[in-house]
A = this chain, B = another copy of it.
């Protein structure tokens, strides 16, 4: 793995070396390194690109890292990664994709991740998308995440796209059985002429299931963001979605959250707000000696923290 790839890896997975536990590192469309443990197996798919990650029931305090780095211009990479997680697990999964494009070709990564989470299992899923490189070639990522939660499973998804992705269509679908709980935190920043579209669809099928989807985003320059979140309450359940966007410069933001109550005992709420940085906040920081740009940066980084 070269220096550029190592830098990308650090950025997307906080990895300074080989991670502990199970991992599968994909670089420029091919497997670069893999490790399995007694409880976590990783097997390459035979019918299509991608891997199966198989986590034994009862696996606790283990982690799986499956970062993808692309440093070759003009490469389009599509992978299907399936996570088969047994009952009673407690596992952290870190995925992420970094693209460095210094050429003129389009570099694109489409990752389709499907999670089958067993009863009572707790999963923390961290996903980070990042792009850099001075080339004129586009950096495109279309992550799709499908989550199936069995009874009383808990899934926390922390998804971040801070910089450098020209175009993205971020789709997440989830269905929840009795007592299952889903929490999603999205942080998104677009700049230049970037386009980002986010789409969540959550089916609260089980009794006592719940979902909380929170998205915070900043749209700068001439970028465009579209946020959609649909929560369907099909049983006694609780759903909440929230979308807060800061708009800057000539950016445009659209938010279309959707609630669907199909059951008397479904309680669904959403909120959304789009606006620019409050003038008072800027002035306060500027009286402390910051320039307007520094004050803006401070407010944005606090908002996306």
Contact = CB atoms under 8 A, between A and B. Distances in A.
A256 B268 CA distance: 12
- Counting chain B CB atoms within 10 Å of each CB, the highest count among A248, A264, A267 belongs to A264
A153 to B, nearest CB: 25
Interface string A96-111: 0000000000000000
Interface of A: 233, 245, 247-262, 264-276
B268 A260 contact: no
A274 B264 contact: no
A253 B261 contact: yes
A266 to B, nearest CB: 7
B255 A258 contact: yes
A264 to B, nearest CB: 5
B245 A252 contact: no
A266 B247 contact: yes
Nearest to A250: B264
B247 A255 contact: no
A269 B255 CA distance: 10
Contacts of A275: 261, 266-269
A260 B267 contact: no
Contact of A272 (B250, B259, B262): B259
